[in-house]
Amino acid sequence: MEEQLQATPICGRHRALNALMAPFGGWDMPIQYEGIIAEHSWCRTSSSLFDICHMGEFIFQGDFVADGLEDLFTFSVQTIPLGRSRYGFLLNERGGIIDDLIVFRMAEDKVMIVVNAATAPKDFAVINERLTGGTFTDITAVTGKLDLQGPLSRYVMVEVFGEEVATLPYFRFITLNILGVEAIVSRTGYTGELGYEIFIAADKVGELWDLLLEDERVKPAGLGARDVLRLEVGYSLYGSDIDEETTPLEAGLEGFVNFEGTFVGKEALLRQKEQGAPRRKVAFQVNGRRSPRHYYDICSGGETVGMVTSGVFSPMVGTGIGIGFVPPELAVIGTPLTISHERISMEATVCELPFFKDGSVRG
């Protein structure tokens, strides 16, 4: 049976721009317009606009501690300052990652939770079940989201929305009146470049898309370029690099786990911390321009020791790059590996993240 895909409010605009469309997380999404490499380059040097309306957004209002929200994630919600956001995980009892997400502190008793598209229905159900009170609402259907990313994005945002955007620090957000409605502008993103995420009413997102594209410094970019951009700076992709069978410790993301707090999966993580994770995420650089791909084997000493979870050709590094999981003893910087698939074989070396270190993200 053919998959019934959901469409974002500006799907028609993508088709009008002759975008290559494909399924992603149950949605019909633009993969590229003029080409992945061209769109990647534009984002690294100018400003690119991404349709991210497929992401899920929830609102919780209530007492964070008494209603159980404080014990849901791998970080404290009540210590997030007003106007700031925090990244972390929703875990299962085994310490596996149900989803990675960002929580925005809207008021003393109110947060917005932004989750991945494919996991949104499950996330809502799990969070709702674990809460003991408060009001929990799924606002995904009425919320649009555009990401403007790139070193020139601040200049574009200030011209369109005013000087208040200019001094917005990383992981801070403000509420603005945009096109006659209340919108959230956040200094966050998924590219490793200076950028903004804009949350606005779904029925206004098309008008906002058109407005931003009027600036000659802005071009649309698809999920293909976004995948290369995020991998160059080492950001994990849910469903590929992290999932319910992967813990934050295995994924090298323990920095986003507050072991002082209480959350589902904490006991499992503490046991794994004591016993040692059976595998570790590893970053590697290929000795050539060939791209490693998801599901390619990672080999050492003639034996398959792991699997590639993400891989691309990096225009910024000039070689193939990738990440995957291997036994801990092979996750040492400088370790030689072989990436193979059928008749394909490429030599690689374990390296540090990020692959690309000169992005403008904190600029």
**Mean pLDDT (whole number) for 21-49:** 97
My answer on whether 296 and 147 are in the same domain is: no
Of 134, 123, 124, 200, nearest in space to 161 by CA = 200
Of the chain, the percentage scoring pLDDT greater than 70 comes to 99
pLDDT at 362: 87
Question: Are 206 and 325 in the same domain?
Answer: no
Query: Is residue 1 in some structural domain?
Result: no
Q: Residue 2: is its pLDDT beyond 60?
A: no
φ/ψ of residue 271, rounded to 5: -65, -45
What is the per-residue pLDDT across 179-225, written as a single tens digit (0 to 9) for each?
Answer: 999 999 999 999 999 999 999 999 999 999 999 999 999 999 999 99
**What percent of the chain clears pLDDT 90, i.e. is strictly above it?**
98
| Domain-embedded: residue 309 | yes
Per the domain annotation, does 96 fall within a domain? no
H or E segment at 146? strand 143-149
**How many independent structural domains does the chain possess?**
2
- Tokens found for residue 347: 């030599």
CATH number of the CATH domain containing 299: 2.40.30.110
Q: Look-up: residue for tokens 């370790």?
A: 335
Confidence at residue 363, expressed as pLDDT on a 0 to 100 scale: 82
Q: Is residue 338 part of a domain?
A: yes
283, 226: one domain: no
Phi, psi of 353 (to 5 degrees): -100, 150
Between CA 257 and CA 269 the distance in angstroms is 10
Of 187, 194, 277, the residue nearest 233 (C-alpha): 194
CATH number for position 171: 3.30.1360.120
What mean pLDDT, rounded, does the chain reach? 97
My answer on whether 217 and 345 are in the same domain is no
Domain boundary among 175, 203, 232: 232
The span from the CA of 348 to the CA of 162, in Å, is 47
Whether 46 and 158 share a structural domain: yes
Domain boundary among 232, 256, 287: 232
Q: Quick one: pLDDT band at residue 39, thresholds 50, 70, 90?
A: very high
Whether 181 is covered by a domain: the verdict is yes
pLDDT above 80: residue 102: yes
Residues 171 and 304 in one domain: no
pTM higher than 0.85: yes
- Determine, yes or no, domain membership for 301: yes
Looking at the structure, do residues 160 and 292 belong to the same domain, yes or no? no
Single residue among 172, 201, 232 that ends a domain in this structure? 232
- Residue 66, domain member (yes or no): no
What is the C-alpha to C-alpha distance for residues 227 and 40, in angstroms, rounded to an integer?
A: 9
Render pLDDT for 115-132 as a digit per residue (tens, 0 to 9): 999 999 999 999 999 999
Q: What tens digit of pLDDT does each residue of 320-329 get?
A: 999 999 999 9
H/E run at residue 158: helix 153-161
Which domain covers residue 322, as residue numbers? Answer: 279-351
Note whether 38 and 149 are same-domain residues: yes
Look at residue 1 in the predicted model and tell me its pLDDT.
46
Dump pLDDT digits (tens) for 306-347.
Answer: 999 999 999 999 999 999 999 999 999 999 999 999 999 999
For residue 222, count CB atoms less than 10 angstroms from its CB and return exposed for 0-12, middle for 13-18, buried for 19 or more: buried
Does the pLDDT of residue 46 top 60, yes or no?
yes
252 lies in a domain? no
| 307 and 174 fall within a common domain | no
Q: Are residues 42 and 146 in the same domain?
A: yes
Residue 148 and residue 34 share a domain: yes
Query: 165 and 286: one domain?
Result: no
